[in-house]
Amino acid sequence: MSIAVPLYGFGASGGSPNKSTIIVTAPTGSTVACTMGSTMKTAPEKNGVWTFGGLDLGTWTITSTKGGDSATQDVVISRLTVEYVTIVYRITPEFTYTGDYEIVDDSDNAISDFANWKSNWKIRFLTSGTFTVTKLNGWNGQLDVFLVGGAGTPTAGASGVWYVSYGGDTATLHNVSVLAGESYNIAIGAHGSANEQGGATTAFGTTCSGGSAGGRDAHNNIPNRVKEFAGDTDSDALYGGYYPAVNVNAPDNSGSGVVSDNSQSWPFGGSGIVIARNARRAA
């Protein structure tokens, strides 16, 4: 963010008359420079603030680095002015995942520009794979993780009689430490075949069993579906338990069991999921 303060006819911040000034706020300990063409201005840090004075009109480039973090911002000086620039390094990790995944905000809206995202985030691991953080950037390497096992699938039911399968088990982990360069295998449990248990979901040292195939009127014993992270997000999605629609497949990655009252066929339970988010509690 920058704020232009016009200084009509006055010198800026005690610098040269008729010259402009850029005041940069960046994480303390950064190396900050201000350049235009072959001209480079330097300034000492004063408690996380760098003041570059005596700047001619034109486009100045602010570069800031600290350790492995860096940021660049152009500032256009078109009149005598003081410009304020705040540098925030990337706070989201860079990673690879060999399976399918999506990056979303707390309401499950897709994040299209993760590199410049400055708020909370979640990674929804949809299929099995290997997760590797290649660069932590400004992230502290701490995850909260929610796991759901794959749901079972019932046998064919009977008209008017519910055959219901169980959803996968769920678990929530807080402050899981992730190291850059280390690979973490994530197994997403599949839904069961007809009259079969679902697969187990495993990630970050924790396993959630798949739901069983259940049986006649099993829904009387099946726990309700739950929200991720015990409801501690803005997401309304529900997991585990059983999907309360008759003869309908449960959504993929819901880990929810299903209801069959059809003697000829059966719906399939939902596959499991792993959801990881930047940790929200102090370690």
Partner 1 sequence: MAKSMALIESGTVVNMLWCSDSEPETDTIINPADRPVGIGDIYSNGKFYRDGVEILTPLEEALKKNAEYEAALSEIEEALGV
Please give the residue ranges that form the binding site for partner 1 (CB under 8 A): 99-100, 126-129, 150, 187-194, 196-200, 210, 252-253, 271-272
CB of 218 closer than 8 Å to CB of 165: yes
What is the smallest separation between the CB atom of 249 and partner 1, expressed in angstroms?
Answer: 13
> Is residue 282 packed enough to be buried (19+ CB in 10 Å), middle (13-18) or exposed (0-12)?
exposed
Tell me whether residue 81 or residue 271 sits nearer to partner 1 (CB atom).
Answer: 271
Helix (H, G, I), strand (E, B) or coil at 121: coil
The three-class DSSP label of residue 54 is strand
Residue 128 Cβ, how far from partner 1 at the closest point, in Å?
Answer: 5
252 Cα distance to chain centroid: 20
Tokens 């819901």, located at residue = 254
> Shortest Cβ distance from residue 163 to partner 1 (Å)?
16
Smallest separation (angstroms) from partner 1 to the CB of 199: 4
Q: Between 128 and 260, whose beta carbon lies closer to partner 1? A: 128
- In angstroms, the first-to-last Cα distance of the chain is 31
- Which residue's CB is nearer to partner 1, number 22 or number 203? 203
Q: Strands 81-86 and 20-25, how do they pair?
A: parallel
- Backbone torsions φ then ψ of 112, nearest 5 degrees: -85, -30
Shortest Cβ distance from residue 240 to partner 1 (Å)?
A: 15
* Residue 142 or 249 with smaller CB distance to partner 1: 249
Nearest residue (CB) to partner 1, 45 versus 252: 252
